[in-house]
């Protein structure tokens, strides 16, 4: 094996004179035992009986673990210091001569790549789940007392945004022409109905979100008088309000694609019955356009002791 594999030799060995320069009796002089701790001379017979540091055949016969116990492993520092070119071996022979450290490094690199890949996949999956949930559910914080006793100030709700989703059937028919469907827009599940508690963008300031209860749907004629709400001339029976209204309104008909909303705290709510006072006469500001509705208030989750579903009602006018 080349001298480079053994490493740098001691200074005394490098400066030792060649055999032809030795005194006449030096070459025939027998090696005498050394008193220091250095290695003692080994005869050729003894050298042939010394077991090699590594035997691939033994490793394949007994297994890597048992072979590593039977034979001394090559130091990792030696493997890192030399390449196949340094020791005069082909790449395959070098791999067989120094297997342990290289396999360990290869396994460590594969493990690091696997962990990195799993981490990236986890982050991507979490992001997809987050955006999917945000597309269906949104949180909302109640501000003020306009919805008492149903909801209170500083409560947190989850809003169902998917319930009122509208689908363009013309576009669906373009991709799925074999479906027997009509064109136009329609609700995927259903439209808002009387009694739904909805979160919406305030028509006069879309940067503000309001929460109210739907009272009138498109085509309804709404009137407030005598401390009660009338829909198409029939009185609503309301057991969810804090107090009866102390004002009058209408009668007015809800336009197509709009909704009339009121707060459950009828005497302390800025809602459809007041919006017209701050709106030009040529505009109808009493109503909420359907495109402004974010979704239906679904679940109250904070404070935790008040965890419950929001009391969305199905209200119908009483028979006259």
* CB neighbour class for 192 (10 Å; exposed up to 12, middle 13-18, buried from 19): buried
Q: What percent of the chain has pLDDT over 90?
A: 42
Burial call 126-148: b when 16+ CB within 10 Å, e when fewer = eeeeeeeeeeeebebebebbbbb
Model confidence over 131-156: pLDDT tens digits?
888 888 999 999 999 999 999 999 99
The neighbouring-strand residues paired with 197 are 213
Q: 116 or 27: which carries more pLDDT confidence?
A: 116
Among 62-76, 137-151, 191-205, which is the least confidently predicted range?
A: 62-76
Beta strands in 95-202 (DSSP E): 137-141, 156-160, 166-168, 185-187, 197-202
Among 23-37, 236-250, 283-297, which is the least confidently predicted range?
A: 23-37
Which pTM was predicted?
0.62
Which of 161, 130, 156, 134 lies closest to 143 in space, CA to CA? 156
Strands 228-231 and 197-202, how do they pair?
unpaired
Helices (H), 197-309: 272-275
What is the distance between the alpha carbons of residues 294 and 159, in angstroms, rounded to a whole number? 8
Which of 187, 247, 202 lies closest to 222 in space, CA to CA? 247
> Which pLDDT score is estimated for 320?
61
Residue 48 has pLDDT above 50, yes or no: no
User: What does the DSSP assignment read for 53-72?
Assistant: S--HHHHHHH-HHHHHHHSP
Q: State the pLDDT confidence band at 86, using cuts at 50, 70 and 90.
A: low
Residue 295 has pLDDT above 80, yes or no: yes
Q: Contact at 8 Å (CB) between 101 and 80?
A: yes
Q: 317 or 289: which carries more pLDDT confidence?
A: 289
Catalytic site positions: 146, 212
Q: Contact at 8 Å (CB) between 187 and 161?
A: no
- Residues ≥6 apart with Cβ < 8 Å to 47: none
What is the distance between the alpha carbons of residues 152 and 138, in angstroms, rounded to a whole number? 18
Residue 252 has pLDDT above 50, yes or no: yes
What's the token pair of residue 97? 């001569």
Q: 206 or 179: which carries more pLDDT confidence?
A: 206
Residue given tokens 């210091």 in the structure block: 81
Model confidence over 219-235: pLDDT tens digits?
999 999 999 999 999 99
> Which pLDDT score is estimated for 18?
52
The continuous run of DSSP H or E covering 262 comes out as strand 258-262
Among 20-24, 274-278, 280-284, 315-319, which is the least confidently predicted range?
A: 20-24
Span 242-247, average pLDDT: 91
> Which pLDDT score is estimated for 151?
93
Span 152-163, average pLDDT: 94
> Which pLDDT score is estimated for 85?
59
What is the distance between the alpha carbons of residues 102 and 82, in angstroms, rounded to a whole number? 12
């Amino acid at each position: 094996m080349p001298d480079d594999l053994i490493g740098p030799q001691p200074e005394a060995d490098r400066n030792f004179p060649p055999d032809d320069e030795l005194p006449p009796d030096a070459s025939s002089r027998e090696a005498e035992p050394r008193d220091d701790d250095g290695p003692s001379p080994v005869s050729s017979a003894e050298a042939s009986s010394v077991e090699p540091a590594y035997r691939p055949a033994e490793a394949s016969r007994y297994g890597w673990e048992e072979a590593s116990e039977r034979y001394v492993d090559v130091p990792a520092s030696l493997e890192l210091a030399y390449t196949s070119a340094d020791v005069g071996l082909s790449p395959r022979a070098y791999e067989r001569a120094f297997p342990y450290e290289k396999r360990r490094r290869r396994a460590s690199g594969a493990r690091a790549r696997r962990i990195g890949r799993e981490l990236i996949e986890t982050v991507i999956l979490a992001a997809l789940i987050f955006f999917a949930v945000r597309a269906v559910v949104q949180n909302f914080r109640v501000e003020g007392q306009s919805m008492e006793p149903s909801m209170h100030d500083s409560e947190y709700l989850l809003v169902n945004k998917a319930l009122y989703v509208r689908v363009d059937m013309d576009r669906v028919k373009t991709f799925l022409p074999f479906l027997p469907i009509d064109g136009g827009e329609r609700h995927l599940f259903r439209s808002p109905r009387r009694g739904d508690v909805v979160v919406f963008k305030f028509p006069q300031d879309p940067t503000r979100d309001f929460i109210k209860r739907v009272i009138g749907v498109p085509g309804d004629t709404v009137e407030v008088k005598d401390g009660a709400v009338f829909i198409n001339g029939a009185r609503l029976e309301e057991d969810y309000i804090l107090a009866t209204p102390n004002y009058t309104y209408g009668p007015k008909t809800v336009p197509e694609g709009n909704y009339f909303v009121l707060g459950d705290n009828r005497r302390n709510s800025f809602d459809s019955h007041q919006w017209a006072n701050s709106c030009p006469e040529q505009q109808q500001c009493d109503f909420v356009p359907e495109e402004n509705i974010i979704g239906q208030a679904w679940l109250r989750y904070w404070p935790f002791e008040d965890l419950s579903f929001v009391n969305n009602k199905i209200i119908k006018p009483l028979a006259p």
